A and B are shown apart, each in its own frame.
Chain A
Amino acid sequence: MQIEPSSHVPQAVPSDPSVDLNQVRIIIEEFKTLPGAMLPVLHAIQDALGYVPPSVVPLIADELNLSRAEVHGVISFYHHFRQQPAGRHIVQICRAEACQAVGADALAAHAKAALGCDFHGTSSDGQFTLEPVYCLGQCACGPNMQIDDDLHARVSNDKFNRVVRAKRGVQ
């Protein structure tokens, strides 16, 4: 396999000392032989680091024998992958129709005010990143939210505050 020397050198992208590229190499090594390895690789990286840092793109491109543009194109296509670090907890508020029918918009407004950030933003203490989600499959009992892997149904403003407070307490 012929690879341009330049694409061999991850340092060509501004390197980010906070990212452990060795860990990323191990992840890629583990999944790269799967057919259609890209999504499993990206999921594993995001699960490990909390996001997919730009500095890993050349590594993935090299190992999966793709161009950097292709790798970047995939990462940016999917809502799930984020390119910046997030807060400690991810708060997802469902904004789809069934939840809209029972007050999802009001819950979203409350969440923004309570966390002091907009969707895709992070609270100033770095604890919570607020994300919209389009259906969590709990549509009979909305409005719904998920914090990390914990689901909450019929979320009132009070319930939202309680759940967020509990997460803060668990640090």
Chain B
Amino acid sequence: MDRIRLNASAKNQLATLKRRTGIEHNNALCRHALCISLANPSVPPLESFSFGGGIEIDWRTLTGGQDALYLNLLAVRILSEGKKVSEEVVRQTFIQHVHRGLSYLVSRREDDLLVELAKSLEAIAN
């Protein structure tokens, strides 16, 4: 796990989200997308992504120095689904969840997405 690739629609979504939230870095947006998707216990549909016109993100950058934690989380999720943990599975799971999460985020209609995200996060925390 050193480089992660995302497809073109994810790239577009990221651009949109950047504009709507004011969060400048793709990695931060991707982290939230991943976690929001992981919070949903349903398994994302298995789709084969074509990464043409997409983007590449460095794994370490993406995890913001918390790669172990994210890997552990993915592993726990994979295990909870009764799958075997392997690097390929982890990558696959990660990519699916990120894409699904980005779609979730983009589909939110609030005017101020940043504040809404923060408030949702708060609500869950308390």
| A interacts with B | no
A interface residues (Cβ-Cβ under 8 A, vs B): none
